[in-house]
Structure 1
Amino acid sequence: MIDRKHIGLSLDPLTVEIEKGRLRFFAKATGEDNPIYTDENAARAAGYRSLPAPPTFLFSLGFEKPDPFELLNLLEVDLARVLHGEQSFTYHKPVCAGDMVTLNSTITDIYDKKGGALEFIVQKTDVTDQDGDQVAELQQVVVVRN
């Protein structure tokens, strides 16, 4: 069983510069063909300062950490038992190329179902920009099979 003492644990913040090349690559990798994600002129014509981040891009930034599985390692969870449960995004303002964003993640809940056969880890990540404005809230649920 995952120790519930970890509820409320905050991970070290991560600050990342949003680069045009990385946004274009992500758009291509995810099959996004809207030109606002790859063509700066199209993005500006649509009212953006520069290329905007595609909808799920911010989630991928967590893998920029030196240990992308920091959360699971802290909780002593075997990666082989992990399933992706769900993720959700709430956006407050666009993130565009040139922005510097900081991700602050906290474990908000740990619970089980089916008599402990499945455990759920809920992680909330607040994303702020270089001005300290909250740009997004991300939530992910990781399922651990026991």
Structure 2
Amino acid sequence: MGVDKSGVGKALTPVRMTIDGGRLRFFAKAIGETNPIYTDVEAARQAGHPDLPVPPSFLFGIEMETPEPFGWFRDFGVELRHVLHGEESFTYHSVAHAGDTLVAAPRIADIYDRKGSALSFIVKETEITREDGSPVADLRNIIVVRNMSDSETDQ
């Protein structure tokens, strides 16, 4: 049996985060980014930015700022040990910078099954905006859930 499809369209808890320059530097270092605009404010300003720009994949981490970033899986009856990252994509509308306060508004866009319901796919879309509502990016994340048969869950 697959993941309950009644969750399609469900809005998840929005997350608000003020972007910290130190976190941006740490993230850039962690991903091996060598462009100085991501670590040096002066280099960023010389490139036309008001402060350090947010590296592209940093935005997926905003939703981790909640006390239980994966708590919503429980609402769908999904155990984390059966979850696999499937795919992610970004559509950018503007560049965010250190000091910006961003709001991430995730929702479940789709749930579908494959392989005779052995696998469920949860499509989560997140709209990232500034406090004033101006768009920053749209994120799309596909999560794969391995559905266990009754005999497998008893083991």
Q: What band does the TM-score fall into relative to the shorter chain?
A: over 0.9
SS at match of 2:13: coil
Shift of residue 131, structure 1, vs aligned partner: 2.1
| Cα distance in 2 for residues equivalent to 1:111 and 1:132 | 31
Structure 1: 5+ residue stretches without partners: none
Measured after TM superposition, the shift of residue 70 of structure 1 is 2.3
Considering only CA atoms, is the larger Rg found in Structure 1 or Structure 2? 2
Give the whole-Å Cα distance in 1 for the aligned partners of 2:29 and 2:58: 12
Q: Report the counterpart of residue 123 of structure 1 in structure 2.
A: 124
Root-mean-square deviation (CA, aligned residues, Å) is 0.8
Which residue is equivalent to 1:136?
A: 137
1:63-113 CA-to-partner distances (Å, cap 9, x unmatched) read 111111022122121111110000000110001000000000010000011
- After superposition, give the CA deviation of every residue in 1:44-72 in whole Å (9 maximum; x if it has no partner): 11111100011100001111111110221
Q: Give me the TM-score of the superposition, normalised by structure 2.
A: 0.92
Taking the aligned partners of 1:71 and 1:138, their CA distance within structure 2 comes to 17
Paired residues in the alignment total 146
**What 5-or-longer segments of structure 2 have no aligned partner?**
148-155
Secondary structure at 1:115 match in 2: coil
AA matched with 1:131: D
Which residue pairs with 1:31 in the alignment? 32
For 2:98, the aligned partner's letter is A
* Counterpart code for 1:141: I
Counterpart CA distance in 2 for 1:15 and 1:62 is 9
Identity of aligned residues (%): 52
Aligned to 1:43: 44
